[in-house]
Amino acid sequence: MVVTCACGHVFKADLYQSANVTLNPDLMKQILTGGMNVVVCPSCGACFHVEMPFLYHDMRKGEMIWVYPAARAADRAAVDEEVRKKWAELKRSMPPEVRDKLEGHYGAVKVVFGMDALVEHIMADVSPEKKPAEN
């Protein structure tokens, strides 16, 4: 993935376009601590979060959530359309037996805007005693 820093430097970074937090619990930690898709510019040293659509996937809860940049919240209809297309594409790329299972399991795919909204959503489901300690 190619990233452009505010300083104008363009560089390649490894970014997640999807996060399966059931298979990869470390990604859940990254999301909750705000470290998901955070990069450091090799030129100026700036540390910033790269905003791009990514798919949050919790198999245990049967939940798939598209996380879109907060700046696109005003563009809801277009985003919904994009998500519909991506979901259709994703399903086409799956073996039929997997697809059938997913469709039965997941129903509607949710969309939230901004990583904060995703964290809020995750935390709302976690009972207070299970919340990680505040730093």
CB 78 within 8 A of CB 42: no
Query: Can residue 46 be called a binding residue for Zn ion (CB under 5 A)?
Result: yes
Residue number with CB closer to Zn ion (40 or 98): 40
Determine if 7 is a binding residue for Zn ion (CB under 5 A). Answer: yes
> Minimal CA–CA distance to 25: which of 135, 112, 132?
132
Reported residue count of the chain is 135
Binding region for Zn ion (CB under 5 A) out of 25-33, 44-52, 67-75, 101-109: 44-52
Site for Zn ion contains 88 (CB under 5 A): no
Q: Which member of 26, 43, 101, 131 binds Zn ion (CB under 5 A)? A: 43
End-to-end CA distance of the chain: 31
Residue 39 or 55 having the CB closest to Zn ion: 39
DSSP string, 79-92: HHHHHHHHHHHHHH
41 is an interface residue for Zn ion by CB under 5 A = yes
